[in-house]
Chains A and B, each alone.
Chain A
Amino acid sequence: MPGAIYAEGLVKTFGDVKALDGVDLDVPEGTVLGLLGPNGAGKTTTVRCLTTLLRPDRGRALVAGIDVLKDPVRVRRSIGLSGQFAAVDEYLTGRENLQMVGRLYQMKAGPAKARAAELLERFDLAEAADRPTKTYSGGMRRRLDLAAALVVSPPVMFMDEPTTGLDPRNRQLLWEVIKQLVSGGTTLLLTTQYLEEADHLAHDIAVVDHGRVIARGTSDQLKARTGGERVEVVVHERDAMATAAEVLRGFGKGDTTVEDHTRKLTVPVTGGAKLLAEVIRELDGRGIEIDDIGLRRPTLDDVFLSLTGHAAETADDESDKETAS
């Protein structure tokens, strides 16, 4: 039984750019899938295919059990979408925008009005509700766009970089909203550049690069794939590095890496804090002065780096990104 969002072999080409090259996804009902990937990986294109905005060249997709290609109209009744770039009418007020969306989800005027008021409150926009959104800040517009995606509490939601451009408080607010939604049974596909966000919200993570899913699993599984714990030492004297390396080799479960210019040595280990204490004692015993030492677990950043060969870029500069239209 396929999940609430299911995709099989999605291919989409724009001219000679292969945006999607066989994307497979399966998101069980009531869970969050974090779609992670560098700029241009195909995240937005995937979302657009699943939300009926784009017809894939090849492949099959089901959303809420409905075939996206065969019955797009029914799919639209079951989804909420907040795209990468806020899509609100700048000359309408926040309230008018939400009411309009409610009406277009076929709600009656009364309920649409009540729902708009409720969402404005929830997204901390009540004060600005009756101003044209042209006067909103970027973050406010973003929040309004997210509110628009939630108007009918659809069973399946898509959010393309929902927290890009939000300040920490509003990011927190959105995370709370998302957790509430999911505990109420909503299935969510979320793309993000913030690994911390995926770590925090997503049950499962799919890493995309060059239009393919190159890894998937829980955040712990992905981290484990990248390797376990490591001890990292920064020694005070450059001269002490050779001795320190020798010590670490004795404890390590793999190759020791040495960074000359930062005087940093890293070695994979097993044994946790107890082992760390032993390492410290041994280094101390040999009279090596330590600037910094610690046990490091891999972060999703490490996962990203090792899988895609480049670090996740922070997405604060929207201007140089392609407008996917």
Chain B
Amino acid sequence: MSGMSMVSDSLVIARRNLIRMTRIPEMVLFGVIQPVMFVVLFTYVFGGSMSVGGSTDPDVYKNFLMAGIFAQTVTFATAGSAAGIADDMQKGLVDRFRSLPMARGAVLTGRTVADLVQTCITLTVLAIVALIVGWRTGSAEPTNAGRVLGAFGLLLLLGYAFTWIGALIGLSVRTPEAATSGGIIWLFPVTFISNAFVDASQMTPWLRHIAEWNPFSATVQACRELFGNPGVVQSDAWPMQHPVWASLIWSVLIVGVFRTLAVRKYRAADG
């Protein structure tokens, strides 16, 4: 199977999934509403009571928080790709695809690419809402447009990587409903035992250790650094010292591992 057909088949499938999104706009809508709610709730409910680097100023927490919310939001795309793929399995569409002379990884790649488009939309809306509630880049350290865009790039890459985990989950469960919950429950510990919502330097040492090596924390720390927002922790942990590299490495590693596993599972004829 040529590389050409891998690309063109993936695009055909991505296009199909994007058409589906336009026919089920409420799915996209809910995908946007949920993180917007998080922004508003965290900003106004926790805002005054959280301390970041010794400061309990709500404005400081707000600027600290956004990188965390953005990163959490992109990882939640996992549930969408898991549910979508489980649905295709259940409806027999995967059987149709498997009987066609198409590139092996294209059904999953097309799905993850379409999810990436949805993540872009969600992230754009979220950034606008964040600006409205008062988030500002460069609030703690000077930054520039290139660095800010770089941060969004890392976020999208992280989201893309996580949709491959979703793909594997979708192939492993029996129903789309199970895929939705299976795609999301494990994200709560992953995104909360991290530096996303609280200052990791205030955690008990063993928890802090986990948080600092959590792949998810690397992206959050990198975004704070690139956004010029407060809360960049000083730490001995390598990923916290080189968060941009760590974020890149983690994401590429996740894509590599989970893409391989998912494509292998898809190909295994006895699905």
Instruction: Compute how far the CA of A76 lies from the CA of B99 in the bound complex, rounded to whole angstroms.
Output: 6
- Residue-by-residue, is B40-83 near A (CB-CB < 8 Å gives 1, otherwise 0)? 00000000000000000000000000000000000000000000
Q: Do A83 and B16 touch (CB < 8 A)?
A: no
B212 at interface by CB-CB < 8 Å: no
Instruction: Compute how far the CA of A96 lies from the CA of B22 in the bound complex, rounded to whole angstroms.
Output: 14
A96-B101 contact, Cβ under 8 Å, with A73-B1, A83-B95, A325-B89: no
Contacts of A52 in B (CB 8 A): 98-99, 269
> Which of A3-11, A101-109, A206-214, A284-292 is found at the contact surface with chain B?
A101-109
> Which of A26-34, A84-92, A161-169, A248-256 is found at the contact surface with chain B?
A84-92
Contacts of B20 in A (CB 8 A): 89, 91-92
Instruction: Compute how far the CA of A308 lies from the CA of B69 in the bound complex, rounded to whole angstroms.
Output: 64
Q: Is the interface of B mostly helix, strand, loop or mixed?
A: helix
Instruction: Compute how far the CA of A271 lies from the CA of B75 in the bound complex, rounded to whole angstroms.
Output: 80
> Which of B4-12, B213-221, B247-255 is found at the contact surface with chain A?
B4-12
Q: Do B19 and A92 touch (CB < 8 A)?
A: yes
Contacts of A96 in B (CB 8 A): 16, 19
User: Which of B24, B92, B102, B270 contacts A87 (CB under 8 A)?
Assistant: B92
Instruction: Compute how far the CA of A261 lies from the CA of B93 in the bound complex, rounded to whole angstroms.
Output: 52
Q: Do A105 and B100 touch (CB < 8 A)?
A: yes
A91-B23 contact, Cβ under 8 Å, with A51-B99, A83-B95, A325-B95: yes
Q: Which residue of A lies closest to B8 (CB)?
A: A103
A77-B92 contact, Cβ under 8 Å, with A89-B16, A91-B19, A103-B8: no
B90 at interface by CB-CB < 8 Å: yes
A91-B12 contact, Cβ under 8 Å, with A96-B19, A148-B96: no
Distance in Å: Cβ of A3 to nearest Cβ of chain B: 20
A53-B269 contact, Cβ under 8 Å, with A76-B100, A87-B92: yes
A91-B24 contact, Cβ under 8 Å, with A55-B270, A325-B95: yes
Q: Do A87 and B95 touch (CB < 8 A)?
A: yes
| Selected A-B contacts with CB under 8 Å, 10 pairs | A52-B99, A52-B269, A54-B270, A55-B269, A87-B92, A91-B20, A91-B24, A103-B8, A103-B9, A325-B271
Residues of A at the B interface (CB closer than 8 Å) are 48, 51-55, 72-74, 76-77, 79, 81, 83, 85-92, 96, 100-101, 103-106, 132, 148, 323, 325
